[in-house]
Amino acid sequence: MTEAAHRARYERLLSGSQLIESCLHRHLISHLNAEVVLGTVTDLEAALRWLRSTFLYVCAVRRPDHYGLGGGAALSRTQVEDQLHELCVLELDRLADAGLISKGELEVVPTPAGRLMARFCISFNTMRALQQMSGQEDLPAMLSVLAGCDEFEGVQLRTSDKRCLNALNRSSERATVRYPLPGRIKTTQMKINCLLQAALGSISIGDPSLSQDLTKICRVTERVMRCAVEYLRSAGGHRAYVSAVLLAKGVRTRLWPDSPLVGRQLAGVGPALAAALAQAGLTSLDAIAAAGGRRIEQAVNRLPPFGAHLCAAAGSLPRYGVTAEQQGVPAATSATVTLTVRLLTPHFSAETSATGARHSCLLVVGDEDNRLLCVARLTDGALQRAGQLQRQLHVQRASAGDLLTISYISESWVGLDVRAEFSPVYRTPAVGAGRDQLPAAEGAAAATTDAGVADTRQCRHHCLDKTGCAHLCCKQGVPVRPVGTRERVSRLMRAGAAPPPGAELAAPSLKRPPAARAGPSVAKVACRPASVLSHDAVCPTIADYFKITQAAAVAARSPPSQPQPPTTAPQPPTTAPQPPTTSPQPLTTAPQPPTTAPRSAMQVTEFECRQKTDHSRLDRLYGLSVSPAHSRRRPAGGARDVPPPPEPDGTEAAQRRSIFSAWAALESLRQARAEPAWSRRPAGAAGASDTAI
C-alpha cells in the first residue's frame, strides 16, 4: 500500500498520535488574493488580523522552525507575529507587482485579473503564465502553456507510462497525436500535453492508469481554460482569444475544432459509431442531416429508426449566417460596420433543439493588428425571438491591413462555427499595408507622368468588399485619362509626330456617327490607356498606326506593280465572275470583263478593304467618321476594280487618304483568318449593305 519509509507516518495517523501541520504558507499568496476579492482584507492591518485567525498562526507559534521562522531559534509570540507580518507584506507586494491587486497607502483593492484568479481558483504562477502570453498563440502554443500550469502538480510521470505515451506521440502502427512532441516523453508537462491531444483526437489510450489521469487532467483543464478565455477577452489578442475559445470547447467535447467525428456529439453515438459515420463520408452535421436514415443505418449497421432519429437530431441544430455592412461615408482612418447574425434553420426551436435552450455562441471580431474589436455572447433563444441580432462597430484602421475577421463560435458544439472576412472601404489607401490596397476616394485626381500615362482611381461599383468581388476594376482600379489626351493626339497626328507612349485606341461610343457632314472628313481617334479597352486585345496602338500610315504612303509613291491574285477564295463561276488572274479563263455564263490597268498598292489595299470591312463594325471599334465623298455604291455588275473617287489634291487630302487606307488595311488583316459570311457574297448580289466606306 505504501513504501516502508512512510509506514510509521501512517501508523501514527491511525493511532491519532500524528501532529497535523498547516499548509497555508505554501499557497499564502493565492489565499490572500481571495480574501482581498471577498473584502476581508482591505489593508495591511486587516491582513494581519486575518492571519491571526488561521491555523497557520497557531502552528507557527508552536513550531516556528517547521515553517522557516527564526532560523531554528526559539521565538516568542511577538517575534512570530513580526515574521508573519513581513510575510504578508511580501506576498501583497508580489500581488501588486503582478497587477492582481491595487495597493495604496490606506487600502488594498482587487483588479479584474485578481477577481478572475479568485473566481476560478487559479494559482499565482498559472495566472502569471496567462499574463505573459503574447496574444499570438495558436492551438499548439496554447496547449504548451496549459500543460505547464501548477494545477497539474498532482499528476506524476511514472516509468510504466512512458511506453504508451511514446506510442501515442510517434508511431507507425497506430493513431498518433496531431502535434507530436520532439523526442521522447520525459517530463510531466509532456505527458499532460500528449494525453490532452489524445483526448481531442478521440484516440484510445488503453492504459487504465493513464485513463484516470486523463479524467483529472480534463477536469482541471476546463477550469483553467475558462479563466484563460475571460482573461484574454480583457487583455486583447485576437488570435490567442480564438485559440483559447476553441481549446476550451474542444476539451469540453473531446474533439478538435475541425474534427470529422462531429457525430459523436449526438445522442446515442459513441466513438465507434462516430468513426463509422466519418468513414462513410458523413463528416459534418449538415451531411448527417441530409444523408437520410437508410444511409446512416447502413453505415453504422443499425436497425430503423436509428437513422431517422439521428437525421432529426442533426437537422434540429441551429445554422447561422453572419453578414457585415459598412455604414456612412468612408473616412480616412475609421469605419462604422454593422454585423448581422441570422438563424438559417427553418422552424428552429431552442427548446426542442439538441443544443438545448441555453446554448450560446460568441461573436468575435479582430483585425490584422491582432486587436480584439468585439466579443458578444448571443443565445439561441434571443436569436429566435428577434429573428436577427445586430452589433455596430466603430473600427479604427489597422496598420497591417484593412481585413476584418468575423467568427461566430459555438461554446459547446463542434461543427456549428461560422467564419467570414470583410474589408471596410476607407477614403485613402493604406500606407505600408501587407497587400495591395485600393484608393477609396472616388473621383479623386490621379497623378500623371510626363509621358501622359494616367494613374488609377476607384471604380464606381458599389461593392462592399472590393478585394473579394468578381470585378477586376474593383481590385486594380480604373485609369484616369489625362486631361487633353484627345486634343494632344489630334495635334500630333496633324503635325506627323509620334503619339505619347502607352496610349492605345479605346472603344468609342456605340452610336454611329452621322452619315453626312459638311466639310472635309477627318478620322477621330480616342486615346485612352490600355486597361479601359472593352474590345479585343488586337486593337493596335497609335504607334503601330503611324507605322502603317508611313508604309502606305511609301507604297503609294512606288511604281505600279503586277496585279496580285486576290486573297479571298474563288467564287463558283455560276454565281459570280472569277477575279482577274495571270491567264484569263473563259466563262460559261458571262464573258470575262477586260482587265484594267495595274493599280498602285495603295489603291488595291484601299479598294479591297472596302469590300471586306463592315462599315458599322469599323465605326464601333475605331470611331472613324468618313466624309460623304467616300460613301458610294458599287456598280450594278459588282465590278471589283472600280477606283475610288478622286479627292482634292493637297497635303491634307493625301494625309487623310493615307490614314483611312491604313485603318482599312488593319481591319482586313485582323479578319484574314476568320472570314465572315458577308464577305463571301456573290459579286452580283449588291444591296444596301454594300455601301463602300
Q: What residue type is 223 in one-letter code? A: R
**Could you tell me what percent of the chain has a pLDDT over 70?**
66
Which of 494, 493, 567 is closest to 527 using CA atoms? 493
Pairing of strands 404-410, 418-422: antiparallel
Give the model's confidence band at 342: pLDDT under 50 very low, under 70 low, under 90 confident, else very high. Answer: very high
Q: Are 263 and 286 in contact (CB under 8 A)?
A: no
Q: With 50 as the cut, is the pLDDT of residue 61 above it?
A: yes
Q: Are 266 and 354 in contact (CB under 8 A)?
A: yes
Report the Cα 495 to chain-centroid distance in Å.
53
Q: With 60 as the cut, is the pLDDT of residue 413 above it?
A: yes
Sign of CA dihedral 41, 44, 50, 56: positive
What cell numbers appear for 7 in the block? 509506514
Instruction: Determine if the peptide bond prior to 635 is cis (ω within 30°).
Output: no
Q: Considering only 61-70, 511-520, 631-640, which range has the smallest mean pLDDT? A: 511-520
Q: What's the CA gap between 401 and 434, in Å, rounded?
A: 6
Give tens-digit pLDDT for 604-615: 344 344 444 444
What cell numbers appear for 591 in the block? 464573258
Q: With 90 as the cut, is the pLDDT of residue 571 above it?
A: no
| C-alpha distances in Å from residue 560, one per residue of 557, 596, 601, 658 | 9, 13, 7, 17
Residues facing 321 on adjacent strands: 342
Give the model's confidence band at 100: pLDDT under 50 very low, under 70 low, under 90 confident, else very high. Answer: very high
Give tens-digit pLDDT for 464-483: 666 667 687 877 777 765 54
What value does the CA radius of gyration of the chain take, rounded to a whole number of Å? 43
Output the CA angle 269-274-279, nearest 5 degrees: 150
Name the CATH superfamily for 320-422. C2 domain (2.60.40.150)
Give the model's confidence band at 395: pLDDT under 50 very low, under 70 low, under 90 confident, else very high. Answer: very high
Pairing of strands 404-410, 360-367: antiparallel
Q: Considering only 22-31, 271-280, 377-386, 559-568, which range has the smallest mean pLDDT? A: 559-568
Give tens-digit pLDDT for 617-671: 444 444 444 444 444 444 444 444 445 555 455 566 666 777 777 777 777 776 6
Q: With 90 as the cut, is the pLDDT of residue 239 above it?
A: yes
- Provide the 8-state DSSP code for 677: G
Q: Which of residues 554 and 266 earns the better pLDDT score?
A: 266
CA dihedral 372, 374, 379, 382 (to 10 degrees): 180
Give tens-digit pLDDT for 117-144: 999 999 999 999 999 999 999 999 999 9
Q: Are 174 and 148 in contact (CB under 8 A)?
A: no
pTM score above 0.75: no
Cβ contacts of 553 within 8 Å, gap of 6 or more: 602, 654, 658
Beta carbons within 10 angstroms of residue 470's beta carbon: 7
pLDDT of residue 272: 92
Q: Indicate the average pLDDT of the chain.
A: 76
CA dihedral 160, 162, 165, 167 (to 10 degrees): -100
Report domain extents, the chain: 21-119, 132-315, 320-422, 486-568+595-693
Q: What's the CA gap between 279 and 162, in Å, rounded?
A: 31
Q: With 80 as the cut, is the pLDDT of residue 577 above it?
A: no
Residues facing 420 on adjacent strands: 406
Q: Considering only 16-20, 141-145, 559-563, which range has the smallest mean pLDDT? A: 559-563
Q: With 90 as the cut, is the pLDDT of residue 441 above it?
A: no
With b for 16 or more beta-carbon neighbours within 10 A and e for fewer, the 437-449 pattern comes to bbbbeeeeebebe
Residue with cell 460559261: 588
Q: With 90 as the cut, is the pLDDT of residue 336 above it?
A: yes
Name the CATH superfamily for 132-315. Sec63 N-terminal domain-like domain (1.10.3380.10)
Q: With 50 as the cut, is the pLDDT of residue 531 above it?
A: no
Report the Cα 590 to chain-centroid distance in Å.
73
pLDDT of residue 279: 93
Residue with cell 510521470: 157
Is 320-422 in the same CATH topology as 132-315? no
Run of H or E including 528:
strand 527-529
- Mean pLDDT computed over 226-245: 94
Q: Considering only 215-229, 408-422, 635-649, which range has the smallest mean pLDDT? A: 635-649
**Could you tell me what percent of the chain has a pLDDT over 90?**
46
pLDDT of residue 222: 95
Q: What's the CA gap between 169 and 569, in Å, rounded?
A: 77
Q: With 70 as the cut, is the pLDDT of residue 167 above it?
A: yes
Q: Which of residues 645 and 11 earns the better pLDDT score?
A: 11
Q: With 80 as the cut, is the pLDDT of residue 35 above it?
A: yes
pLDDT of residue 80: 87
| C-alpha distances in Å from residue 385, one per residue of 214, 230, 315 | 41, 27, 20
pLDDT of residue 421: 94
Residues facing 367 on adjacent strands: 404
Q: What's the CA gap between 491 and 506, in Å, rounded?
A: 18
Q: With 70 as the cut, is the pLDDT of residue 583 above it?
A: no
Q: With 90 as the cut, is the pLDDT of residue 17 above it?
A: no
Q: Are 146 and 247 in contact (CB under 8 A)?
A: yes
- Mean pLDDT computed over 397-403: 92
CATH 2.40.170.20 fits 21-119, yes or no: no
Q: With 70 as the cut, is the pLDDT of residue 101 above it?
A: yes
SS3 letters across 438-499: CCCCCCCCCCECCCCCECEECCCCCCCCCCCCCCHHHHHCEECCCCCHHHHHHHHHHHCCCC
Q: Are 430 and 330 in contact (CB under 8 A)?
A: no
Q: What residue type is 558 in one-letter code? A: S
Q: Considering only 68-77, 80-89, 198-207, which range has the smallest mean pLDDT? A: 68-77
Which of 235, 233, 236, 232 is closest to 376 using CA atoms? 233
Give the model's confidence band at 236: pLDDT under 50 very low, under 70 low, under 90 confident, else very high. Answer: confident
